[in-house]
Homo-oligomer: A and B are copies of this chain.
Amino acid sequence: MSDSGAMKILGISGSLRHGSFNTAALRAAQELAPAGMSIEIFDIATIPLYNEDVKAQGFPPVVQELRARIKAADGLLLATPEYNYSTSGVLKNAIDWASRPPEQPFEGKPIAIMGASPGALGTARAQGHLRHMFIFLDGLLMNRPEVMVNGAAGKFDAEGKLTDQATRDSLAAMLTAFKAWVLRLR
């Protein structure tokens, strides 16, 4: 953590849509973070498709930046949509790039996962796949509480503000637990 003692969390949304519920949920997390935690959002929209031939020439600047930001963060907060019973290809692609040697930045990093979807199951399956990936990457995922925002269309207003109080409460509770998880693993 920084000298000031503030816990710095890097948030990444798996959806590039301007009105994305997951990006909106990250903004809500910024508001709801407990004292001593700040959350910055990294936009993965300009990361190219992973290609090892490109990587052999060096990481693209945006990937270098992502890797440096992950490395510098005290923890990660991933917000995933569920597409086809898994996380988005967009988020997986960012993880694939960021994870490449040397200095795999997810190793030993505290990670929390959440997700929002218009459907009834709230990204349960996407979160399951994401968690599976971090076994290999040795990310230290918090198990619970889980935040799965279902019926998302009714829980955010037209400006993307999270208005559903129960969801706000569960998100705040998750962030408080995540702060404790990060501290426990220091």
Is A76's CB within 8 Å of the partner chain B? no
Report which of B53, B91, B121 forms a contact with A89, defined as CB distance below 8 A.
B91
Interface size class of A (residues with CB under 8 A): 35 or more
Taking the nearest CB of chain B, how far is it from the CB of A100, in angstroms? Answer: 9
Stretch at the interface among A64-72, A133-141, A158-166, A168-176: A133-141
Report which of B49, B131, B140 forms a contact with A90, defined as CB distance below 8 A.
B49
Contact indicator A92/B95 (Cβ below 8 Å):
no
B residues in contact with A52, CB < 8 Å: 15-17
Contact indicator B121/A128 (Cβ below 8 Å):
no
Q: Can you name the residue of chain B whose Cβ is closest to the Cβ of A86?
A: B133
Identify the A interface with B (CB < 8 A): 15-18, 45, 47, 49-53, 83-96, 99, 120-122, 124-125, 128-129, 131-140, 143-144, 146, 150, 184-185
Known: A87-B92, A89-B92, A139-B143. 18 other contacts (CB 8 A): A16-B53, A47-B49, A49-B93, A83-B92, A84-B92, A85-B132, A86-B132, A86-B133, A88-B92, A88-B96, A89-B95, A90-B96, A92-B92, A120-B120, A125-B128, A128-B128, A129-B129, A135-B143
Can you list 26 A-B pairs, Cβ within 8 angstroms, ordered by A? A16-B49, A16-B50, A16-B51, A16-B52, A17-B51, A49-B90, A50-B83, A51-B90, A84-B95, A84-B99, A84-B136, A86-B132, A87-B92, A89-B94, A92-B92, A92-B93, A120-B120, A125-B125, A128-B128, A129-B132, A131-B135, A135-B143, A135-B144, A137-B143, A138-B144, A140-B143
